[in-house]
Structure 1
């Protein structure tokens, strides 16, 4: 016969919740950085004339992509 525990002590439940909370936040950061890497690659693939038309230079691409997260 097998037994299944369906009730956890509050401190155990808190540790489990904290683990999944940190894991979820890490996944969000990872996925957002991957999306931004793709945007940087797309901008780096443009010609200097195309970038100038957007008001960018190559050295300002990272600042442009991360402008909402960093004060640059």
Structure 2
């Protein structure tokens, strides 16, 4: 009598797909951190300025995000 077990094969395929998905997720997170982190620092620096300093730059407080992301989004 012959027994065929596919359970270990199924688990290893599921594990491989899970590892691949996790690697893709880590890549997207790293990419987002490199793209967004400098912009976040720029937003924080602009928010630290006074309203007079922002007005001197031609900005108001509600326009900071639009200003920082102006090259990414067309608004």
What TM-score bracket applies, with the shorter chain setting the length? 0.5 to 0.7
How many angstroms apart in 2 are the aligned matches of 1:27 and 1:62?
22
| Greater helix share, structure number | 2
Q: Unpaired runs of 5+ in structure 1?
A: 1-15
Among candidates 54, 57, 60, match of residue 54 of structure 1: 57
Count of equivalent residues: 58
1:8 equivalent in structure 2:
none
Q: Unpaired runs of 5+ in structure 2?
A: 1-19
Q: Which has the larger radius of gyration?
A: 2
1:34 equivalent in structure 2:
37
**TM-score under structure 2 length normalisation:** 0.61
How many angstroms apart in 2 are the aligned matches of 1:45 and 1:30?
22
Runs (4+) off by over 2 Å:
19-26
**TM-score under structure 1 length normalisation:** 0.63
1:19-66 CA distance string (max 9 Å, x none) = 877754542222121111100000000000000000000000000000
